[in-house]
Structure 1
């Protein structure tokens, strides 16, 4: 985004349940863009969000956009994650990534047992919750009153700022006939250790470190089964009847973070257009804006970004519409959500890669934003939720009448 330029955010067909509140939250995100962009280099150096950035996000209420109103949250529709991450991603993808991640955990906590919600939010309604949803990283066994949990989980974004963590694990039984269960465990900070492992090329400011748990006891009501999060009423529904808390969590998982890719790509496009609008070729002194190849690249990149925005927002709006009708999506719909989440982010990555290549050697300078946008785009795309081979294969299986291979759907 060029200096003085307004951040871009698009709209797909559909409406939110509370348009004024949604618009107000999006406006708060947009107001932060200039200062977050100025801090981007420092955020990378720190490898986590600067304290003043966390404070800005808290004061704007952005972390609580999906938190129940009864706790003081905004309880906006799910599409707010896309729109706010889109805007913040135009400043700094690391900030957008942590905001979307941590905000989504307030939404998920609203699906836990009421005792879990009360324990976290009665102490501090602003408390941040980290996560790692890599099920094979943990091993849990059922004991009286709950579970014993141990394991080592990577990629717990923003964990240093959090008082709690949602860790996914496989639950094993001594009786093989019982099979295995996928479950999420909510632990206080005292029950896990943060390992400073986040030395990476992209999304450097997210502080996505490893966490380690050694034989922690987790009470039953501080856990939730993945099967309870596949759409429809959840253990938290008695407190939070809004259809927002009846969405299928892991079917819509890509859209927690896909808006980050969108904003990062939009910023890359805006910056590129601003530069070539005034730039003269080093070799023949021609105006780059007069080159047909430049014009075509801007058209192609913008088409991919606009298409990605439409896909992402439409998926979220349609899911909310289904939830309001009490309709639980079938497996074909769930695998389509995963397919489209990956496909739309791949569009954004393609746009950034094309613009980076078109920028030539100037894009290599670390003083510019383009090299960071390129690194961040590929870091985002490396997330398993955006692996189109995996999402596409599973969609194709279901479309052909075969069972889904994704056990969390």
Structure 2
């Protein structure tokens, strides 16, 4: 598939356990042919087929950043990029749900041990959905916990999950107390799923809506966003790996950025393969002999390689910082968000360039190209990849103004 730049260890170390790390990425790559064959069915179902979920479970992929103490692989954070990159070369919807659901094992590792035990004590393979749209939920503090209510969109893979992490704002009687952002961990019995996911891209992610009506959430089943900004977390007492001391929302784009990367890589690989053997419809000239074809391949591949380098470098350096106890300052955190958005934008530009270069062939619904184009733009529509938002906040902080992102 990808060239040397696509290798998960290309140019940068992934730290301890390199052999097991490489084996996990190899498992993801081994699924590519079958997942590509299922892509149309995945779109028709509007969620992952049961056999795809089983394949991901059997390969151990959902548990790549889960604590080792409960049987997880506890790989470095960059595993989310590398494995999503591999799976995205098959089907972006599969990669999207994999990365989302796998990352929630990582985040649960930062919660109080009682929350971890409530989930993993029942089933260490249990999947956890999420919606991190804070204004969608309102919580009121009560004795020993909170009462939560709200309506959250975009809870990817929610039908497959037994639990959900929902973001909310804690209301107080005195607004002068300031705003508190928290995450609330709820069992499936405590929320309602509305089937709303009819989308033009990432069609197979089942990113439906979730409703909660005045549900009590115990204190130990929540975590303050202020505990996730870097450094030891409530979960560090039982999960001392630096993985569980990373600044969560500063690195949030890299949970999903590998999806756009793998999708773009597949689009490029498909285009190159076609250009090698196809002739122009109009003059029968070989596409591979045309300078325009050669230039477009060079431009798209440069964008993809640059994106991969940015994503992997930032994740690996973040792990190195966490291991030495260093927490990035606000300027460093906004740079991570800027780079996360910019790198995915590069991938989207590469796919758009190749789509346009493909001419009328790109219009056929029977091929992968139209899905890759739709998925690229669906990935790019996520707020984490909105460069206007990330760039504005980076510029504000660089100019000495307050950050507009309160989760950093």
C-alpha distance in structure 1 between counterparts of 2:202 and 2:15, whole Å: 30
C-alpha distance in structure 1 between counterparts of 2:359 and 2:16, whole Å: 45
Contact persistence 1:152–1:213 (CA under 8 A): yes
**C-alpha deviations, 1:237-289, integer Å up to 9, x for none?**
10000000000000000000000000000000000011111111111111011
Where in structure 2 are the equivalents of 1:282-293 lying within 5 Å? Answer: 282-293=281-292
C-alpha distance in structure 2 between counterparts of 1:217 and 1:180, whole Å: 20
C-alpha distance in structure 2 between counterparts of 1:52 and 1:72, whole Å: 22
- Give the equivalent residue in structure 1 for 2:36: 37
- Give the equivalent residue in structure 1 for 2:311: 312
C-alpha distance in structure 1 between counterparts of 2:345 and 2:28, whole Å: 24
- Aligned-partner SS, 1:293: helix
C-alpha distance in structure 2 between counterparts of 1:175 and 1:203, whole Å: 42
Contact persistence 1:112–1:236 (CA under 8 A): yes
Contact persistence 2:342–2:385 (CA under 8 A): yes
List runs of 5+ in structure 1 lacking aligned partners: none
Contact persistence 1:12–1:313 (CA under 8 A): no
- Give the equivalent residue in structure 2 for 1:183: 182
Contact persistence 1:14–1:314 (CA under 8 A): no
How much does 1:402 deviate? 1.1
Contact persistence 1:349–1:381 (CA under 8 A): yes
Distance 1:190 1:7, change over 3 A: farther
C-alpha distance in structure 1 between counterparts of 2:265 and 2:178, whole Å: 46
- Give the equivalent residue in structure 1 for 2:381: 382
Where in structure 2 are the equivalents of 1:113-124 lying within 5 Å? Answer: 113-124=112-123
Q: Which moved more, 1:188-197 or 1:11-20?
A: 11-20
Contact persistence 1:172–1:179 (CA under 8 A): no
List runs of 5+ in structure 2 lacking aligned partners: none
Is residue 344 of structure 1 aligned with residue 343 of structure 2? Answer: yes
How much does 1:8 deviate? 4.5
C-alpha distance in structure 1 between counterparts of 2:49 and 2:280, whole Å: 38
Where in structure 2 are the equivalents of 1:8-157 lying within 5 Å? Answer: 8-10=6-8, 11-157=10-156
Distance 1:68 1:157, change over 3 A: same
How much does 1:6 deviate? 12
TM-score normalised by length of structure 1: 0.98
TM-score normalised by length of structure 2: 0.98
- Aligned-partner SS, 1:155: strand
Contact persistence 2:127–2:161 (CA under 8 A): yes
- Aligned-partner SS, 1:326: coil
Contact persistence 2:182–2:222 (CA under 8 A): yes
- Aligned-partner SS, 1:217: strand
Contact persistence 2:5–2:305 (CA under 8 A): no
C-alpha distance in structure 2 between counterparts of 1:66 and 1:176, whole Å: 38
C-alpha distance in structure 2 between counterparts of 1:36 and 1:15, whole Å: 26
**C-alpha deviations, 1:299-335, integer Å up to 9, x for none?**
0000000000000000000000000000111001100
C-alpha distance in structure 2 between counterparts of 1:176 and 1:381, whole Å: 35
- Aligned-partner SS, 2:233: coil
Contact persistence 1:138–1:149 (CA under 8 A): yes
- Give the equivalent residue in structure 1 for 2:265: 266
C-alpha distance in structure 1 between counterparts of 2:233 and 2:325, whole Å: 13
How much does 1:7 deviate? 11
- Aligned-partner SS, 2:236: coil
C-alpha distance in structure 1 between counterparts of 2:199 and 2:4, whole Å: 30
- Aligned-partner SS, 2:405: coil
Contact persistence 1:203–1:375 (CA under 8 A): yes
- Give the equivalent residue in structure 2 for 1:300: 299
C-alpha distance in structure 2 between counterparts of 1:53 and 1:9, whole Å: 24
Where in structure 2 are the equivalents of 1:198-213 lying within 5 Å? Answer: 198-213=197-212
How much does 1:14 deviate? 3.4
Contact persistence 1:9–1:86 (CA under 8 A): no
Contact persistence 2:14–2:78 (CA under 8 A): no
Aligned pairs, number: 407
- Aligned-partner SS, 2:126: coil
Contact persistence 2:202–2:375 (CA under 8 A): yes
Where in structure 2 are the equivalents of 1:175-254 lying within 5 Å? Answer: 175-254=174-253
- Give the equivalent residue in structure 1 for 2:403: 404
**C-alpha deviations, 1:147-172, integer Å up to 9, x for none?**
00000000000000000000000001
Contact persistence 1:7–1:87 (CA under 8 A): no
**What is the Cα-based RMSD across aligned positions, in Å?**
1.3
